[in-house]
Amino acid sequence: MSRVKPGLATDELEKSLGYFFADKGLLTEALTHKSFYHEAKDKAFPHNERLEFLGDSVVGLIIVEYLFLMKENYSESVLAKMKSYLVSEPVLADIAGVISLARHLSLGKGEESTGGRGKKSILSNTLEALIGALYLDGGFEKTREIVLRLFKNKIEGAILSGEFYDHKTELQEKTQLLYGTLPEYRVIKQQGEEHKRVFTVAVFLEGRELGTATGRRKKEAETRAAEKALEKLAQE
Co-location of 210 and 156 in the same domain: no
The domain containing residue 118 runs over which residues?
8-161
Q: Which of 103, 149, 155, 142 is nearest to 126 (CA)?
A: 103
| Residue of 27, 56, 25 lying closest to 125 (CA atoms) | 56
Compute the radius of gyration of the chain from its Cα atoms: 22
Count of domains observed in the chain: 2
| Domain shared by 48 and 137, yes or no | yes
Task: Mark which of 141, 161, 181 sits at the end of a domain.
Answer: 161
CATH number for the domain spanning 201: value is 3.30.160.20
Question: Which is the catalytic residue, given 29, 52, 56, 227?
Answer: 56
Identify whether residues 147 and 33 lie together within a single domain: yes
Q: Which of 161, 186, 202 is the last residue of a domain?
A: 161
In a structure prediction context, what are the per-residue pLDDT tens digits for the chain, which is 236 residues long?
Answer: 344 444 346 889 999 999 999 999 999 999 999 998 888 766 667 899 999 999 999 999 999 999 999 988 887 878 888 898 899 999 999 999 999 999 999 998 988 888 889 999 999 999 999 999 999 999 999 999 999 999 999 999 888 776 666 788 889 988 999 899 999 999 999 988 777 789 999 999 999 999 999 988 888 899 889 989 999 998 87
> Do both 84 and 34 map to the same domain?
yes
Read off φ and ψ for residue 116, nearest 5 degrees: -60, -30
Q: 24 with 119, same domain?
A: yes
Residue type, 15: K
Counts for the chain of helices (H) and strands (E), in that order: 11, 3
Full-model pTM: 0.70
Return the pLDDT at 94: 96
Do residue 108 and residue 220 come from a single domain? no
User: What does the chain come to in residues?
Assistant: 236
Half-sphere exposure of 215 (CA within 13 A, CB side): 21
| 102 & 142 share domain | yes
Whole-angstrom distance, CA of residue 230 vs CA of residue 142: 41
| 57-87 pLDDT tens trace | 999 999 999 999 998 888 787 888 889 889 9
Q: Specify the pLDDT at position 4.
A: 43
- Pick from 80, 58, 69: nearest CA to 135: 58
Q: Which of 29, 128, 222, 227 is catalytic?
A: 128
Tell me which of 97, 130, 161 is where a domain ends. Answer: 161
Active site residue 23: no
Q: Look up residue 106 and give its DSSP letter.
A: B
* Displacement of CA 90 from its chain's centroid (Å): 5
On whether both 187 and 127 belong to a single domain, the answer is no
Catalytic site includes residue 52: no
CA angle at residue 105 from 88 to 56, to 5 degrees? 30
